[in-house]
A and B are shown apart, each in its own frame.
Chain A
């Protein structure tokens, strides 16, 4: 259930030397949403995450958590969890010891640790040195440390980075479950395919500037692309070619991708049973949003 905004980013700018890496970025993170921050490498996603996490000290603008500015007061970190880029732990300590150390900083109950490790499927490796963990295990431990203090909002910077396809599916499942449990999630990624399934809102950063801020629902509503699947693509193609303002973008044996300003019902009117139409769906091409 998405309600009012939990976090408000207001005109945030950041310079590294003379280079401006964030340029008056403003957006809101709705409570209960999964907001995806998209952008190519160097677009300022990680810098923005680090500013929110309190890792970057000097920046312009303001950030509010439920209306309260986070500047000069890091108490908001009690309500937030972070996984910033690659997971980095004290590798000479075990997974449980790492979590124990962090638990003490937020006064979180120590008996949570076992439950958390089980939740990220690391309970059998609790007493193993982190040095011996695979990348995927470290990333799961990264999620565990981020939710250690039961935060209201999670900031995950490239959570799928370096994971194999199975790991990515698992990570997405974990993120989705956390959202279902009521946590607001803000994740940055440059892998656009993951966003459609996972996010309710997206923003796009390009060269430090915000170029898009919308909900996935709206983006689907406004897209003009359709995927049409059928056993009889030739017949469908013939019928569509008679329509005005329609372009066929891609064609395979059983699928056509078209661009048309017609709505779904207007399109459907053109087909008959003999066309063996399986499905016709709006297609959201995130890549297009970057241009």
Chain B
């Protein structure tokens, strides 16, 4: 039954135009950003080299497809919650507001399975979007600027060989995707208790905004609670490019996000199973 429900959810989602808005925006935005990086390469390199150019003599250019991808992801990752929650925000509230549950839930199916199918679709959508974001950025950047070593700042300037870079990007994708899945599940929870599709996005983004602010505000209390907030890990993917890779940090990230995700799904289940469909 769960496969049938997932198939139905996919049919509902894939036939809607709004499903593709996020892909379209990324599709248009990335080439522009890569083009801008390419044109402003000299300025960018100067800012990367900084005072290092006083001590070192650089031959060739640091600017390549990998660096461009790294910059694009670092800059846009904080905006991804807007795009990745487009489906999650509507997945329950859309059915409430359009009254389609009146027809769908009068079938001999369990609400728990309906929720499970929606969770699967939300997770699949978020992962696909994040995968597209990473892969598309890489493809466009490499095609435009070529490959080479990736220079990142970590305890000075760190050069990652081109053989290693793809593995690091894969790890970065896995890390950022895991955090983004938690954000999408938060949005799904709010969708399960809200009657319109805009409220879940607004509340989710507000929570992410406040959570991110806590990460950057140097107050002792915030420093204590920050490791327990999933929002504190949004930029953790940058550490996938550190040497050595901070596996213990990623372990904390995995545990924190798993706990929050489980909480969000459990609460969604609780509210959805109790919900009277009166519209």
Contact = CB atoms under 8 A, between A and B. Distances in A.
Interface in B68-123: 98-110
A76 B108 CA distance: 7
Contacts of B107: 77, 102, 105-106, 149
Nearest to A101: B8
B120 to A, nearest CB: 16
Secondary structure call for the A interface: mixed
Q: Which of A82, A105, A145 has the most CB of B within 10 A?
A: A105
The contact size tier of chain A is 35 or more
A88 B99 contact: yes
Interface stretch (B148-156, B176-184, B215-223, B268-276): B268-276
Contacts of A55: 101-102, 105-106, 276-278
Contacts of B277: 50, 55-56
A54 B12 contact: no
A208 to B, nearest CB: 15
A92 B16 CA distance: 7
A91 B98 CA distance: 9
Contact of A97 (B11, B103, B108, B275): B11
Given A84-B106, A93-B15, 16 more contacts: A54-B106, A55-B276, A55-B278, A57-B273, A57-B276, A58-B274, A74-B108, A82-B103, A82-B106, A85-B102, A88-B98, A88-B100, A88-B102, A90-B12, A92-B16, A105-B104
Interface of A: 16, 47, 50, 53-58, 74-78, 80, 82, 84-93, 97, 101-102, 104-106, 142, 145, 149
A97 B7 CA distance: 12
B24 interface: no
Secondary structure call for the B interface: loop
Contacts of B106: 53-55, 77, 80, 82, 84
Contacts, number: 85
A102 B104 contact: yes
Contacts of B25: none
A149 B104 CA distance: 13
B98 A54 contact: no
A105 B276 contact: no
8 contacts: A56-B277, A56-B278, A78-B108, A82-B106, A84-B102, A85-B102, A101-B8, A105-B109
Interface in B2-50: 4-5, 7-8, 11-12, 15-16
Contacts of B101: 55
B7 A104 contact: yes
Given A57-B274, A75-B108, A104 B4 contact: yes
A97 B12 CA distance: 10
Contacts of B4: 104-105
